[in-house]
């Protein structure tokens, strides 16, 4: 699987390089802030790594959490995201809708920190919700896409449903399931249903 990940991510990075350049320029022109956003995630066997994305939020996004309404704070606490996040920039909305903000994660895959398919990368705080499944979830590399990302894409109904879907993948992972997930991901990305 590692060889597959390496070959596919290198080819994808080359093919997507025009988008990479265009998006970088667009983000820089939009507000002159950093092009990339790096955030700590927990990888295989609990090893910490920096996840790369194109920045889709304003530069002071973390500070603006203090301005959330009680309802927004509760939603953020439950799902670790908001359905209508006011911190997302105009270009960020487009990048998230098309999942183009995820392109830099191909670098994480090349570095061996992620895989093409696997549970989506999570923070240390998010791993606490895994409960007794924590070690199982961290027994495989996190993925650019995965069972939840493909079939529960954009779902904000609850984090526990996401956990159930991620656990299902880890317990039933196979080459055939990975192929189905990759195909489903392409379908959902091109139809614009949610974001990874």
Quick: pLDDT tens for 70-123. Answer: 888 877 777 667 777 888 899 999 998 889 999 999 999 999 999 999 999 999
Cross-strand bridge partners of residue 39: 51
Q: 31 falls in which pLDDT band (50, 70, 90)?
A: confident
Q: How far apart are CA 150 and CA 147, in angstroms?
A: 5
Is the distance from CB of 137 to CB of 167 less than 8 angstroms? yes
Residue ranges of the domains in the chain? 2-191
What residues have CB less than 8 Å from 55, skipping those under 6 apart? 27, 33, 34, 35, 36, 37, 89, 92, 101
What is the per-residue pLDDT for 44?
A: 97
Q: What is the tens place of the pLDDT at every residue in 137-196?
A: 999 999 999 999 898 765 555 677 888 999 999 999 999 999 999 999 988 888 766 555
Among the residue ranges 39-48, 50-59, 70-79, 166-175, the one predicted with the least confidence is: 70-79
pTM of the model: 0.86
Q: How far is CA 42 from CA 75, 82, 83, 98, 112, in A?
A: 22, 21, 24, 25, 13
What is the per-residue pLDDT for 56?
A: 92
What is the per-residue pLDDT for 194?
A: 54
Provide the sign of the torsion angle of the four alpha carbons 186, 194, 110, 163, taken in this order. negative
Report whether pLDDT(43) > 90: yes
DSSP class of 60:
T
Q: Which element (helix H / strand E) includes 36?
A: strand 36-42
Region of 133 on the Ramachandran plot (φ > 0 left; ψ -120 to 50 alpha; else beta): alpha
């Amino acid at each position: 699987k590692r060889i597959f990940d390496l070959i596919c991510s290198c080819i994808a990075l080359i093919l997507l390089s025009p988008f990479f350049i265009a998006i970088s320029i667009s983000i820089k022109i939009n507000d002159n802030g950093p092009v990339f956003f790096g955030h700590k995630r927990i990888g295989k066997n609990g090893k910490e790594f920096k996840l790369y994305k194109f920045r889709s939020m304003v530069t002071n996004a973390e500070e603006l959490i203090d301005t959330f309404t009680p309802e927004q704070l509760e939603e953020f606490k439950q799902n670790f995201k908001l359905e209508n996040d006011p911190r997302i920039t105009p270009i960020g909305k487009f990048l998230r809708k098309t999942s183009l903000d995820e392109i830099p994660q191909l670098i994480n895959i090349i570095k061996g920190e992620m895989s093409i398919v696997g549970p989506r990368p999570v923070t240390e705080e998010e791993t606490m919700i895994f409960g007794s499944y924590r070690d199982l979830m961290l027994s495989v590399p996190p993925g650019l896409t995965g069972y939840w990302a493909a079939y529960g894409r954009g779902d904000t109904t609850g984090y526990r449903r996401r956990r159930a879907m991620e656990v299902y993948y880890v317990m039933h992972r196979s080459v055939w399931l990975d192929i189905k997930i990759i195909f489903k991901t392409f379908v959902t990305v091109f139809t614009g249903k949610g974001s990874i």
